[in-house]
Each structure stands twice: as structure tokens, then as C-alpha cells.
Amino acid sequence: MNTKYPSAKEMKIILALLLSLCASMTGLAQSKADKIAPDIKAKIQNAKNSAAPVRLVMQLKGNPSLGLSKMLDSKDIKGKKLFRNLNIYVFDISVGKIEQLATFGEVHYIAGDNQFRPLGHVTMTTGADAIPVVAGNKAKATKINGAGIGIAVLDSGIQANHRMFLESGANASLSSRVVYSEDFTGENRTDDPYGHGTHVAGIAAGNGALGNAYRGIAPGAHLVNLRVLNAQGIGTTESVLQALEWLLVHHSQYKIYVVNMSIGTPAISSYKMDPLCLAVRKLQDKGVLVVASAGNHGKNTQGQKIYGMIHSPGNEPSVLTVGAVNTFGTDIRSDDRVASYSSRGPARSFWTDEEGVKHYDNTIKPELVAPGNKIVSAQAAYNSLVFQTPALDASDANTAADSRLMTLSGTSMAAPVVAGAAALLFQSEAMFTPSMVKAFLMYTAQQLPGHDMLEQGAGLVNIEGAVRLGTEMTVTGWNLQYSWPPQPESTIAGTRVPWAQGVLLSHGWARGEELITKYQQAYMWGYTLNDGVIENYSSLSLNSQIFSSGIMVGDGIMTADGTLVGNGQKLLSSEMLLGNGIMVNDGIMVNDGIMASDGIMIADGIMASDGIMAADSVLKNGE
């Protein structure tokens, strides 16, 4: 296959987009104006009836004052729920009363109870099959299958009695590895009438009982089924927050180290304000890694490439956000490319200052890409996806309901590949933290030719390399010790795979062997990799209190061959930006949300008329 590299004009458009990265490197001075999410502001402005009800999600930054408490207890508030561990209230209120809430100083942010939808040969092409063969500590490596590690799946439910979720190995039994299930949709069921969650869970932790070709990444891991999408595949912010609060309380009880969220909604509100992003960050601070799909908005209906459509909660810096790769059905990786539908960075969520100026997060996302096109995995019995599209059924008519398979495509399928890989890493070394696992998965990734960091992040996940790091490494205090120095390459499907040897930061990158040979303070609970740098208007510098001196940081976006997008030009300071319009030297004007003349779009969040962000639907046909 001939690799198609970005054209010179595409490079200029990408550079123009990058110029606005610096706008995110400013302080966050909150005001009344920016306490209300843009979609809710639109509802206030467009409301024909001030008494019209709207369901809100209100994030507090302290205890409610007497005045706010009285308002919350008044007849103006209906259907009130308190998520105590998240300091969030969800309730119904009339449109005309919303701005009154924003006057209270303890109110951090007011968002809508938006809708969520699913974002829709793996073990060989990711290197998972190579783990028992080439990992340094073979006795230890043969046991690396995720055993003892819990993966929570926030989705449409899991068919717990499917054969792919039964105990496997020498102690195989009829017991399901789905050890706990709870419904947060109000439908009082935890099975999977929609069909998405079972498929996702099979990719992360299917046991291969139906043939090793369809085995999941971590077949020994146990699953926690938190159902947040209803029978139509739709959920709400409230249902997702309920599940996240449950995780904050119970993650230790069920040994949950990884959360998979193959769901999302376009990111509008800055991750600094969005209640969903704040909730998942609390999980990371507790030692739980959240893996989220990037979204399936990489192109528009005309097939034109779009940048900036990363979904929430994937815009949160602590989240490991995953895009999709098309493997073309082969085990070798030389023909792999980023799927055209996979959402590209940066995250265009924003906050608004008192003058009405938008300040974009512009976090570089996704961090990784993984196989996500036409993936075969577990099929939930009698699910609506297959009922509506019979071609998705990958089993013959005589196959039992607990053994059927189906095919789906999307970043929803890519995320559980990485979630399973994370479970293997957590099993390989008990002292690993979420930031360490995230860093090692990026460090060992393979950069795909023809794609820049805004498309592939650090690159294509390399599970063999990441687990080899884990099995050869011992964490002792502030040191990372190896049985021998790791070689920065892998062999997958008989082909040499070089490692990226670096990690992505919110607005740049970091490189250096000390990322894997020295324990960085950024790896500790409560920290993220971004804490290792100091940002100013135009550049990044090393934070020597967090990252060791042997690590090099940079603020340019690179392609896979190591060249900087835009011929090496550094990011310009915010003073160089005239409004939101950026003029590149060939005369193409790139405005937020305006399509450039060569068909590349830079998205700014597209609000539906009702103020609810449209979410991705399942990709049934792939590409």
C-alpha cells in the first residue's frame, strides 16, 4: 500500500490550528459569564417560555452556602440528586432561574444533562500474542493475562453468561468473570439489549473460547458491568456520573484498575469546568486509569477531513484517549493507517471570559491509536444492532445465543484494546500508577507513517513492548530497575516495530530514556504527565521538580518521520492572533468552525438546535 502523506497545504492548515494552542496556556479566571455551559446559555437566550424546565448538572467547589441551600430546597428545584463524592447536584429547574444559580460563589459550573451514545486478528496485530514468547521474564510473562485486575465497562450492558466471559485456563469453570453488574438507566436490567457493551467487553477481556482469533486482550481480567446506556443505546450525563461515583466508592472492593468508556459527547465545555471531566480526574487521583474513545467524527458527510472533534471525557488530560486504526485485516502493521472516521485533535473545548472571548483547551489528543475497523467480538443475544443490521452478525444461524459473534467498527472498538493492554500492565507490576501505565503505552507505541500527532498521538499501541517493560521492571522507591536494559523495539507478526520513545503532553511532547529508567514525580497519584512541564505563551520548559533533567520537552507537533508540522516553525504567542482568525501564508483564512478552502475543517463544537451536542452513532460498516 502506498502511504499518503499530508499535502503542503494540509500541513499549513494544521500549523494554523496549532497556533491557537497557546491560547490555552493562560490562567482560568472564572466569572459569572463562564459558569454556564454554552449549550445552556443558548437555551436561556432562545427560550420562548422562561418557565420551561431543563435538567442541569451543577458542579460545586465547596459546600453550598445558606442561600444556595435554600434555593436547592425550594419548589423551584425538582428531581434533585446529590452525588456527594463528586460534589455535584443534578436537578430540574426553569430556564428563567438558571442565571440566579450562577451568582453563588460556590457554584463552579452549570452544564446540561446531555445525551451519550456509544462511539463505535486483534491480539496478533497488537503484539498481545507475542507476550509469552519474547518477554524477558518468561515465567512471569506466561501469566500476564490480566488476572486479578478489574476492568469496569461503562456502556449498554454485558451479557454475563456469554461464553467469552467464562473463566478460562486450568481452572476453567462455568463461572462468569463479570463479577458485578448495576444499571444506572432506570430500566432495571443489566443485560445488553442494544449490543454495544458486550462487544466492547469481549475486545477488552474475551477468553478466546470461540477461537483464539477472537480472544480479547486481557482474557484473565474480571469485568464490572456498569450500564449507562439504555436499550436504544442512549445515556445521560446523570447516568454516567452515577456510575463514576459508584466507582469512586467501590473501585478498591472490586480491584478495578481500568475504566473503559466507549461512549461520549462532543466536548464543548473546558475540561477545567466540565463535571464529567472533573469526575474522571478524581478516579485517576485514586489510582484508576480511564480509557476513552476519541470519537468517530474524523470526516464530514462529504468525506472531508476534520480536526478538533475529540469527545468528552476524552478531552480531559488525565484520560487515555484512543483513536482507531484500519488494519485491513492483516497481522502485519506496515499497511495500517488511521481510520478516516477517527476523531482528530486537538480538543476544542473552551471556557469564556467576562469579555466573551473563548479560551480553547487545545489539548493534543488522542494519545494512542489501536485497531478499530471491522472488529469481531462477542454478540449479545437478540440485540437491536444486529436486528436492525443483520450483516453485522458474524455467526451462522445454528450458533447458540451464548456463543454468537458480531462485527463493529469505530473508536469504541479501539478503546477496549488499550483498556485490556492497561490491565496487563497493572498486573505485571503492582506499583504501577495510571500515569506510568499511560506513559509506558505511549513510549512503546509505533508511529505510523503519513500521520501527525493530532491524528495518531504517540502512535499505534504495541502491547508486546509495553508488557515487556512491565515484566522486566521492578519499582523500588524512586528507582525503576530492570533485569537488563530494554531494547526500544518489538517484533510483531515477524516484523520489526520501533518504539516511539516519547510521550504526549497537553501541548507538546517529552522524550528521553529516563521516562522508563527513573521514577518521575509525574507518575505519582494525584499528578499527570503534564505536571512535568511549565507552560507560557509560546513554549514549554522542563519542570525540574517533576521531570528529571535527562528528559527533553518540545512544543511542536511532529509527523512520524520526526519533522515538525509547518517546517519546524514554533508556536506563535497569543499576541500574534488577530481575533479567532489565523491567516496562513497562502491566503487561506482558518476561523474556528469555518472550513478551509482545501476541505480541511477545524471544528469548534457544533450545537444542535436544542442545545444538546450530537453524539457519535455506532459505525456498522467501517471503511
Of the residues 176, 412, 435, 490, only one is catalytic, namely 412
Under 8 Å between Cβ of 367 and 442: yes
Give me the phi and psi of 307, to 5 degrees please. -110, 150
Of the residues 155, 183, 274, 616, only one is catalytic, namely 155
How far apart, in whole angstroms, are the C-alpha atoms of residue 611 and residue 38?
A: 8
Amino acid at 608: A
Please say if 196 is a catalytic residue: yes
* Length of the chain (residues): 623
Amino acid at 466: A
- Helix and strand totals (H; E) in the chain: 16, 33
> At CA 430, angle to CA 171 and CA 125, rounded to 5?
70
Please say if 155 is a catalytic residue: yes
Of the residues 34, 108, 156, 196, only one is catalytic, namely 196
Collect all residues with Cβ–Cβ distance below 8 Å to 596 and sequence separation of at least 6: 13, 588, 589, 590, 602
> At CA 342, angle to CA 340 and CA 348, rounded to 5?
120
Amino acid at 415: A
Under 8 Å between Cβ of 309 and 327: no
Look at residues 434, 432, 495 and name the one whose alpha carbon lies nearest to residue 469: 432
> How far is it between the farthest Cα atoms of the chain?
70
Per residue, the 3-state secondary structure of 170-190, as one string, reads: CCCCCCECEEEEEECCCCCCC
A 10 A CB-CB count for 498 gives: 15
Q: Which three cell numbers stand for residue 541?
A: 520548559
Amino acid at 502: G
Question: What is the secondary structure of 509-570 as a DSSP string?
Answer: EEE-THHHHB--GGGSTT--GGGGEEE-SS-EEE-TTTS-TT-EEE---BBTTSPBTTTTPP
Question: What is the secondary structure of 294-343 as a DSSP string?
Answer: --S-SB-TT--BEE--PEETTTSTTSEEEEEEE-TT-S-STT-EE-TTSP
Under 8 Å between Cβ of 207 and 191: no
Look at residues 224, 226, 256, 260 and name the one whose alpha carbon lies nearest to residue 241: 226
Q: Which three cell numbers stand for residue 495?
A: 516484523
Residue located via cell numbers 520548559:
541
Q: What are the catalytic residues?
A: 155, 196, 412
